[in-house]
Structure formats: C-alpha cells, structure tokens
Amino acid sequence: MNLTEKAEKGSRRFRYIKLCIFFSGLSVFAQLYLFQPILPTVSEYFKTTAGDSSLLVSSSTIGMAIGLLFFAFKADSYSRKSLMTFSLVSSAVLTIISAWMPSLSMLIATGILKGFVVSGVSAIALAYLSEEVHVSVVGLAISMYLSGNTIGGMSGRIAATILAGEFGWRNAVLIIGIESLVLGLIFWKLFPESQFFNPQKTDYSLKVKQMGKFLTDSYMLRLYFIAALLMGSFVSVYNYLSFRLEAAPFSLSHFVIAFIFLMYIFGVFGTMITGRLLRRFSSNFILKASVLSMFSGTALLLSENIYIIIAGLGLFTLSFFAAHTMASQMTALHAKQGKSSATSIYWLFYYFGSSILGSGTGYILHAFSWNVFIILLLISVGISFILAAGNKD
C-alpha cells in the first residue's frame, strides 16, 4: 500500500479505522450516560432527590464541555491516536473506579474528571477521519462514528438498566467500565496512526479572536442557544422519564423501562431524514420544522396513556436529532474561517445546556410535578423555535 494515499474503501487500513472509530463512539457514549436510566436506583441508594442524583449525568457532561474547550486549544499539540487511546483507556479506568465510590459527591467528582478525559475522542475524531480517509468514503467513516455514538448511548442505557436490576447498580457500572476498557485496548492495538497529521503548536491569539467573533455573531449565538436549550430538554426527558414510569399509574419494571431507550433508534432516522429534506427545503426551514415537531412530542409526554407517551417520545427523539443535525451543520457552514472554533463553541453550549437544564429541571420535578416539568421543557423548546425563526433562510 502507498503510504501517501488516504485510506480507501476495501483497504485493510480503512476497515480498521471504521471498526475502531465505531468502538470509540460506542465506549464514549455508553460511559457518558450510563447513570441516566438508573438514577431512581442510585437516588434511593443514597437517599437523595432526583435533582441531586441527576448530577451524576450532568457532572460527566460538564467535564465534557470543559474538556472540549481545553482541546479546542490543545488537541493539535498531541498525536491523534495517542490522545484518543489515552481518553478511552483512562475514562474506562475511572468508570471502573467509580463502582466503589462510597458517596454521591465522590461519584460526581469522578464523573467530571471522566467527562474531561473522554472529550479527547470527541474533540478530534472527525478531524482524524477528514485527514486520513479518502474523500469518497469519509462520509461512510463519519456515519460509522455517529452510529457508534448513538448505539453506544442506547446500548449503555439499556445494559445499565438491566444489569442494575439483576446485579445492583455498582456491578452494572463495573461491567460497563470493563467492557469500555476492552474496547479501549482493542482501539490501541488496531487503530492506525496518523499519516497526514503532525502535532503542532497552537496559535492561542488566533483561536481567541475567532471565538470572540463567533460569540458576537447574532446568527451563531441563536444556533448556540438552540443547541443548549434543545439538548437540555432532551437530556431532561431521558433523565427523569424513568422516575415517571416507575410511579403510578404506570408502575413499570426496570426491565420494561430499559427498552424505552430503544427510542434512540428514531434518532438515527431523524439524522437520515434531514439529508433527504435538504434537497427540497432550506436548512433553517428544516430546523424550524424539527423544533416545532419536538414541541409536539414534548406535549404528548403530558399524557397518562403509556402508548401516547411512547409515541411522543419517538417523535421527540426523532425531532431532536433532526434539529441537532441541522443546527450543527448550519454552524459549520456559516463559519467561513475557523470552523473548528465555531463547532467547539457549539459543543460547549450543547453540553452546558445538557448539564444545567438537565439537572435544574430535576429540582423543578421534585418541587412540583411532572406536568410543571413538561411545561418548563415546552417553554425551552418554544424559545428555541423563536430563535430559529430569527435566523433568515
């Protein structure tokens, strides 16, 4: 094989890249959200509220946001493979360690550190693929990474719920940590080194200047706040729906609730639909339609009929992923220069929204009721629609 050529479809190098990048997404998102479906169990174990226990999810996403900001400046200073391998292995070790943490506060602290180190994968995965994979199949490689993210998030939640129900939540965390460590070691062994990238010093002044420009651009600011509000609403629903379904009038078991997370499959459909719709409609029209559809899905969650709730959750999930796909794409396209800086800020807002709204709504749920909680989310999604309407097609 000519080492000056990028990895092409059918080559051994491309197969290893595709497999390992899928495993990286699988590991990252299985670990990032593994506590989400077992919050009721952990809340009961530590005798705390839904809002306090939700900090187990928010801590990882806060760490992720901080890490993404750090790596926006420093990622190009390290070897691509070394940074990703370190992120995968060290995060898995932290997940394993967290199975023995004696207090909620120590679990939360470990979650922040885990989110920080695992962000190294998200910060450079797409950059690696665009550098190392032939342009004709880079889309396929990126879709494998995003599929790993979605399937990792979904399978991690389902596995955590089932394992916690059978063996206890600590053993569930331990098993997922060990699985993630195995994936990290496979990645270290098989993932090809970069051939088209050399670590370089960061131009900090240029990065700061670019970020300042985007943070004063009204078009970009609307997209950033849309990302924060929609992701915060999305995480809120998946954080606390288990509490709702375990209580009357549903009283569902852990095993049944686990399969609610299969709704993530609708997220894949949401991403695919946007690609087809772009042939006929503008990006901002699709964004507005997706947010409006998400609003409808959120409203259906007010029902006390389990079938309507499932239908609402499916619509809510599909619409969120469609809106997120469009908002992130519009962010990258609007940035003529400094695309990495523009997208770094997008992810920063995205994960801070997840952390702040994702935990804050838990305290609202504890203090008031499910209906008040959903009304707050409807307000958040409604504001997102107003922001989207403010950007011209």
Could you give the percent of the chain with pLDDT greater than 90? 58
Same topology for domains 9-192 and 203-393, yes or no? yes
Structure tokens that stand for 218 in this block: 């009204």
Q: What pLDDT, on the 0 to 100 scale, is given for residue 393?
A: 62
| R_g over Cα of the chain | 20
Contact 39, 108 (CB under 8 A): no
- For 320-356, what is each residue's pLDDT tens digit? 989 998 898 888 788 877 776 787 889 889 999 999 9
Q: What percent of the chain has pLDDT over 70?
A: 98
pLDDT digits (tens, 9 = 90+) for 56-110: 999 999 999 899 889 888 877 889 999 999 999 999 999 999 999 999 999 999 9
How many helices (H) and strands (E) would you count in the chain?
16, 0
The CATH number of the domain covering residues in 203-393: 1.20.1250.20
Model pTM score? 0.85
Contact 361, 373 (CB under 8 A): yes
Question: What integer is the mean pLDDT of 186-190?
Answer: 97
Q: Which residues are within 8 A (CB) of 284 and not within 5 positions of it... i.e. 6 or more apart?
A: 326, 330, 388, 391, 392, 393
- CB-based contacts of 176, cutoff 8 Å, min separation 6: 30, 31, 34, 95, 156, 159, 160, 163
Selected residue with higher pLDDT from 323 and 278: 323
Of 179-188, 251-260, 335-344, 357-366, the range with the lowest mean pLDDT is: 335-344
Exposure string of 372-389, with b = 16+ CB inside 10 Å and e = fewer, is ebbbbbbebbeebbebbe
Find out whether 226 and 327 touch, Cβ atoms under 8 Å: yes
Lowest mean pLDDT among 25-34, 96-105, 291-300, 327-336: 327-336
- Name the DSSP class of 194: P
Dihedral (CA of 364, 370, 376, 377) sign? positive
Q: CA-CA distance, 61 to 194, in Å (whole number)?
A: 28
The predicted model gives 362-372 an average pLDDT of 95
Question: Both tokens of residue 250?
Answer: 């549903």
Instruction: Please give the pLDDT value at position 389.
Output: 95
Among 54-58, 151-155, 168-172, the range scoring the smallest mean pLDDT is: 151-155
Residue ranges covered by each domain of the chain: 9-192, 203-393
Instruction: Lowest mean pLDDT of 112-116, 215-219, 388-392, name the range.
Output: 388-392
pLDDT the model gives residue 16? 95
Predicted confidence (pLDDT) per residue in 251-274, tens digit: 998 778 878 888 888 887 887 788
* Backbone dihedral angles phi then psi of residue 9, each to the nearest 5 degrees: -60, 135
Question: Band of the pLDDT at 4, cuts 50, 70, 90?
Answer: low
Domain 9-192 CATH class label = mainly alpha
pLDDT value, residue 1 = 42
- Identify any residues that bridge with 7 across adjacent strands, giving them in sequence order: 133
Average pLDDT, the chain: 90
pLDDT for residue 2: 47
Give the number of other Cβ atoms within 10 Å of residue 103's Cβ.
Answer: 9
